[in-house]
Amino acid sequence: MQNIVDFIQKTFNTAEFIPLHEPRFMGNEKKYLNECIDSTFVSSVGKFVDEFEKKIAQFTGAKYAVATTNGTSALHISLLLAGVERGDEVITQPLTFIATCNAINYTGAASVFVDVDLDTMGLSPKSLKEFLNANCEIVNSTCRNKTSGKTIKACVPMHTFGHPCRIDEIKEICDAWHIALVEDAAESLGSYYKERHTGTFGLLGAISFNGNKIITSGGGGCIITNDETLAKKAKHITTTAKIPHRWEYSHDMIGYNYRLPNINAALLVAQLEQIENFLQNKRVLAKEYKNFFAACENVRFIKEPQESLSNYWLNAIILKDKQERDRFLEFSNNSGVMTRPIWTLMNRLEMFKECQCGDLTNATYLEERVVNIPSSVRI
C-alpha cells in the first residue's frame, strides 16, 4: 500500500493532501464572469447560455443541446420526454450514483436493476437481454413486465467513470423491445464509443457539470438529442413552460425551473475552451497509472474498454477483495491521498430495496473491490 501512495504523491508532485478530483480554472473564466456580471444578465437568459448550448452540441456531435441546472434535472426531463409516467418501470444498473435512480423516481416510475459488465462497469447487454427474455413480453407495441404487470418504458445505462458501455448493443435490444433509450452520460463528456460520443446513441442523453466533473460551472448539466421536437420541448418545460410574451405570464403545462443561469454558462464556455487539453492531460495520467499497476500484484487498473476512447474522468483500481479494499481506503486517506470506494449498490438502499433485480453478480463483485484514486488534471 505504501508503494501505491508513494507513487501517487510522486505523480502529483506533492506530499500534501491530494484530492480525488478538483476543478481547474486556467482560462477565461474570470473574464467571462465579469462580462456576465457587467451585462446584468446573470439568470437563465443571456448570451453565454446560448453560446454554451451551441458549442456543447458541436463538441458532442449532437444536433441540439439544452442547458440545465444540473445533471439530475437533465436526466429527469429526458425521462419525461421519453414518455416515462407514474406507474411505469425503467431498467437501469444498480452500480451507479444515486442521481440516476432519483431522477427515475421523480417521474413516479420504479427502477428495475440489471447487472453490469466487468470490463465497462456499465449496463450489460447480455444481462439486459436475459432479463427481458425471462420476465417480459411485448403487448400492443409496449414492453410489459410479466412479474409486476407494469410497462417498462425506458432503459438508462450509465457510462461509469467515463468508460463507455456497449451502448450500440443496448440500443439494438431496446429497439427490439420497444423501450426508449436514455443515456446517463453524466460522467462521460469527451468519451467515445466506436468514434461516436456517448449520449448520442439514445433518444436523449444527460451530462453533468458538477464541481468534480471534467468541466464545471460549480453545478450545471445539459440534455443532448438529435430530435428537434424533443429539444424544443425540453427548453420549454425547463423554463417553467412559459409561453413567450413581452410582459404576460402564461404557462401551458407543468414546467420546471431547470434552466442553467447565464453566470454558470459563462464558466462553462471558458471551461469548454480548455477541454481538449484537460482530456489529453488525463490520458497521460491514466497511462502512468496503467504502467505502474501492471507490476502490482492483486491490483488491476481499469482501462478503457475495447473500441472506446474514455475520458478517464475518475481512475479506478480493482483490489483483491473487500477486506483489502477497506485497508487500502483507510491507509491512503490517513496518508493524505483521497480515495473512495465505488457506490453502494442502489438495490441495497432503503428506498430502492423493493425494486426488482436480475442477477447482480458482477455489480456485487465490483462494489466490494473498486476504489477511485486521484484523477485531477495536473498543472
pTM of the model: 0.96
> Cβ(69)–Cβ(220) under 8 Å?
yes
pLDDT of residue 349: 98
Cα–Cα distance for residue pair 71/125, rounded to 1 Å: 24
pLDDT of residue 232: 98
Cα angle value 280/120/378 (rounded, 5°): 25
**Rg, the chain, Cα only:** 21
Cα–Cα distance for residue pair 74/215, rounded to 1 Å: 16
pLDDT of residue 12: 95
- Amino acid letter, residue 139: V
pLDDT of residue 44: 85
- Indicate the DSSP class of residue 208: E
Closest CA to 184 of 211, 224, 216: 224
Cα angle value 156/157/163 (rounded, 5°): 150
DSSP symbols for 341-368: EPPPPGGGSGGGTTS-B---HHHHHHHH
Q: Note the CATH architecture for domain 2-25+275-346+356-373.
A: Alpha-Beta Complex (3.90)
pLDDT of residue 187: 98
Cα–Cα distance for residue pair 325/369, rounded to 1 Å: 6
Which residue ranges make up each domain of the chain?
A: 2-25+275-346+356-373, 29-273
118: its cell numbers: 466487468
- Amino acid letter, residue 375: S
Using CB atoms within 10 Å of the CB of residue 237, give its burial: 0 to 12 exposed, 13 to 18 middle, 19+ buried: buried
Q: Which fold has domain 29-273?
A: Aspartate Aminotransferase; domain 2 (3.40.640)
The full 3-state SS of 283-297, as one line of letters, equals HHHHHHHHHHHCCCC
Closest CA to 376 of 273, 282, 280: 282
**pLDDT profile of the chain (379 residues), mean per 10:** 93 94 97 96 92 98 98 98 98 98 98 98 98 97 97 98 98 98 98 98 98 96 98 97 93 96 98 98 98 94 97 98 97 97 98 97 98 96
Classify each residue of 148-158 as buried b or exposed e, where b means 16 or more C-beta atoms within 10 Å of its C-beta: eebbbbbbbbb
Cα–Cα distance for residue pair 256/241, rounded to 1 Å: 7
pLDDT of residue 236: 97
What sign does the dihedral 207-208-209-214 (CA atoms) show?
negative
